[in-house]
Chain A
């Protein structure tokens, strides 16, 4: 009954991992079940919701649509790797400060999509931010606070220090 296991070597959050996985195992399941990184969530299993987004060789990827064996030899980044030396990344910090998190289930995938955007385009427009996270469904926040958090990092400005977030009440989201 047991599926044939194939050898896999990859680097997850800077740490090499070597092991095996059945041919049909997704990267999502490899991360959650074999590498014990459960920060990455499954929302639908068919690549429609973005909850499982991780960064593979610099690109945001729905890990439920990528086979584990396809990630062989790749650099994979998950939400667990974004904390450096015990400090939140600027984007994580901005998510906290802008209340861009409610239930939190979409948050890891959302963060990875936004992080990948900021790394390939440090100063995205609002339009580019919206496009970058359009594949990440969030049912709680209405996205406004998420966009505000990404924008705060996109501006290149240091994140605000206090709990006060910039007043977004009535703020225009530019689409042009």
Chain B
């Protein structure tokens, strides 16, 4: 390949940006179809209740109303991994916010009015709102029929007649012997709340039921083929009866990874005689009805040598799944495989329990459980370091996985895995974190005023996916030797298409401006991809693009060899032309070949060039159900953050002054896309650290389901200084050595900030988010404990 068309690692513009700055980009809420109806939902006000009566008569009588639908009319039960969800609640409601009735009407206002006119009578039932309480004997069962639900067998292990949707076990070595042999044993617990994704575009869908069991669904989703697959299974129709189209999507972060409002819009259209139905979630429904990140409780027991070498870790992860398993069961599985951090741990015992509660359900959220797990793991490492009098940097450094070590699932760590140690070193240097001394010894007494502290945290994550996960790509040449790349991962903002355009252009040796990665997804025309999740699209999609480009070149080689009377192996593809290696003047422009070549006498050979590429996950194995041992990951991305914070001891307000982030990306495919993914992920991580959490009342009702009460970071919350660093240890089977980094920027941001707070205050915080209230009260409690010492600075009463 020539340097003239070298784009990998470069910084070409992202093509979709042009459409997005002009308003030309079209999102589902912008779209309409002739005869389209508008739908609204009536949601449950109770966390758990029996539906005694639904009276839809007045709603049906409202002029302009076409369909009023209740769960009684719908037999279907569906789910990604566990079929535990109704399209509309039937018999009972399982969370406040669950859709109970849906209306399709001529206008959205009429649909909303009709929803208000529906009378629903409930008998409240005891709700289980806490995952610990949900495990107790005699706890109300969120799904009494769990034992009858169909689910992905051999991968997920629901416990019949309980609230446990999945129990993931990891067993390595002998933890009890490990603890016995340890010089020190620590026991800690940590907590994470449910948090919302908050895509700026809420979930939106337009569905049209067609005759002969066909359907056309236009949706703001991440994974067109998953939506198609579940629709086909749910409604028992052939896959090619279902057309799923995805235009530009206004953010996903995992919240649009699965299937959500699509089945409801479809059944409404079916009941409306095939008129298209548009359903756009309100912002309140986005919080209340659509899924969030799961909550997590962590109990971790750690045995170490006197020098700080990890000997044994026993950990229980208790996931607050909410009312449906959705991606939650797979999060419980995936995060468990990463559940001891990027460290060598000879003895490890993980129980990861995904527990149903009567709350809005959890799903994938950027990081897929790893932000939550690493909050505990990386706070725990600092707590141990300080107790042993070892610098947190040195403690991590001596425990990092190194070539020849085995992970807790039995995978052998190789040189190609990456360098967590280098990532940590880079970020520590960037914020002036002293790596060697014990400078980061916290103050003996809680200080006063605006106090600074520094903290570090490491991270790792691998894509969580089925063993057969695959991706495919078609590259179509056009008459002018430009190309359209068809690939079915969705770019809902990550910039993957921009990176893949560079990969295709470089492979084909054409200008990147001549590559169009087709933005709109369409299962009727685009080749298969599994899902756009897990930071696996650049890796798998990149490999598929390279394969498709090489297939194009092979087709062009065959034609050119005949035309140029040269052996195929002697042909060189360079700068949109093919020449004979030893005679560069003997050449053909691509455009002479890509639609077929015509000789002087009119004879023609070849034909349109359409390259085909595919990639399937290599080497994954099923995990042993009893021990979790096996190959769970195609690759691991390692990273670290370091922060400097300032905390105001009089208000509890935490200000992130500086944050440095580093990831072993294998190879940076596109400098700007990688950097901006990190910038965005880091601020999202700061949101999870300092601001964001669902609040429920004692009856399980969500209290902060709007932007008035649920805040996300604004421009004013941006750290004054942010830096992004990349280590490039090639992933041997990755495209140009690359591995994914999309989710990783969020992970361990809370841990680094929590560690910095300890550095500043000498106070250990165990629960997120680190709101001013929580920090202030912790300071107040610490001062009270200091007793007479507190007299110098009497704590203010709140």
Contact = CB atoms under 8 A, between A and B. Distances in A.
B606 interface: no
A175 B23 contact: no
B11 to A, nearest CB: 5
A139 B11 contact: no
A172 B658 CA distance: 9
A104 B679 contact: no
B199 to A, nearest CB: 6
B318 to A, nearest CB: 28
Contacts of B714: 133-137, 143
Most buried by B among A78, A101, A136, A165: A101
A136 B712 CA distance: 11
Given A39-B23, A134-B714, A104 B248 contact: yes
A4 to B, nearest CB: 14
A134 B249 CA distance: 23
B24 to A, nearest CB: 7
Contacts of B18: 88, 96
Contacts of A51: 200
Contact of A96 (B17, B681, B721): B17
A141 B679 contact: yes
For chain A, what secondary structure do more than half of its interface residues adopt (helix, strand, loop), or is it mixed? Answer: loop
Contacts of A23: none
Interface string B33-48: 0000000000000000
Interface string A16-42: 000000000000000010000111111
Nearest to A106: B200
Contacts of B673: 99
Interface in A35-71: 37-46, 48-49, 51
A142 B199 contact: no
Interface string A85-122: 00010001001110111111111100100000000000
Nearest to A79: B23
B128 interface: no
A141 B680 contact: yes
A170 B720 CA distance: 9
Given A103-B492, A142-B684, A143-B715, A40 B23 contact: yes
Contact of B706 (A44, A92, A142): A44
A173 interface: yes
A48 B201 contact: no
Contacts of B29: 38, 41-42
A101 B11 contact: no
A48 B253 contact: no
A97 B200 contact: no
Query: Residue among B30, B676, B706 with the most chain A CB within 10 A?
Result: B676
Of A49, A99, A164, A170, chain B has the most CB atoms within 10 Å of the CB of A99
Nearest to A168: B675
Contact of A142 (B10, B25, B250, B680): B680
Contact of A102 (B24, B197, B680): B680
Contacts of B707: 44, 46, 48-49, 137
B723 A95 contact: no
B17 A173 contact: no
A127 to B, nearest CB: 9
Interface-centre pick from B19, B64, B201, B252 (highest chain A CB count, 10 A): B201
Contacts of A104: 16-17, 19-21, 25, 248, 250, 493
Contacts of B21: 79, 82, 88, 92, 95-96, 101, 104, 107, 111
A15 interface: no
A165 B493 contact: no
Given A42-B29, A103-B199, A142 B718 contact: yes
Contact of A134 (B26, B672, B716): B716
Interface of A: 1, 32, 37-46, 48-49, 51, 78-80, 82-83, 88, 92, 95-97, 99-108, 111, 129-131, 133-147, 163-165, 169-175
26 contacts: A1-B110, A32-B30, A37-B23, A38-B30, A46-B706, A48-B707, A51-B200, A79-B23, A96-B17, A99-B14, A99-B495, A102-B494, A104-B16, A104-B20, A105-B251, A107-B20, A130-B716, A134-B714, A134-B716, A137-B714, A139-B197, A142-B681, A142-B683, A144-B718, A163-B672, A173-B721
Given A41-B201, A107-B21, 13 more contacts: A1-B64, A99-B495, A99-B672, A101-B21, A103-B201, A103-B248, A104-B20, A105-B200, A130-B715, A136-B714, A140-B680, A142-B676, A142-B679
Closest CB pairs A-B (n = 10) = A39-B23, A104-B20, A105-B250, A103-B493, A142-B683, A48-B707, A102-B493, A170-B723, A38-B30, A105-B200
